[in-house]
Chain A
Amino acid sequence: MLSVLTRGVVLASRRPVDGSQKTFEVAEGDSILDIAQANGLDMEGACGGSCACSTCHVIVDPEYYDKIPEPDDDENDMLDLAFGLTETSRLGCQVSMSKDLDGIRVALPAMTRNMQNKDFKS
């Protein structure tokens, strides 16, 4: 099972809108990106899941982070470009569901206004 906290967008002129949590039954081997897109969640996988962008960036619940095999250099290089990077960030296309990860919770990073150009490393 995979729980996803969907994106909460903080609007400057309104109070923050918290995302809702959705839970899905999933199959072993499905990547988090596959699952998100199959269920209509707000996750772009611009490069189609080939580790060539960071649009499927998710924040993994710290309790589950260590259960996922470590990211390789390529994934780390792409993660470095993700906005709102955290200690437990991963690319959704590189994390596949397994029995070890049953019950894993991930959050979609919130996008905020007033992001400045320097926040984007191109």
Chain B
Amino acid sequence: MLSIFNSIPTHMDYKGQKLAEQIFQGIILASAVIGFAYGLIIEQFGWTVYIVLGGFAVSCLLTLPPWPMYRQNPLSWQPALPETTGETLQKPQENLKKKKHK
């Protein structure tokens, strides 16, 4: 069953991750301030908890799925080099050399 979930793409690019973090921190802090003020006014701490939980649910919805707004700045990868037989022979030797120098 887990293999189905692994195949759904959930990545965001770096600017998208920063945006997502700012969004959920902002929403939860705002709901905390509103909830504290409301609970203080109506004298019930339960409402403070409900409002913060509501803020949590809203930010879950906004930041957990990879919406397109978080994929606006994708990294530009280099094009993949085609592998030739000469390179595959050279690569193990280069790895051995690097290990010795360490």
Report if A and B associate in a common complex. no
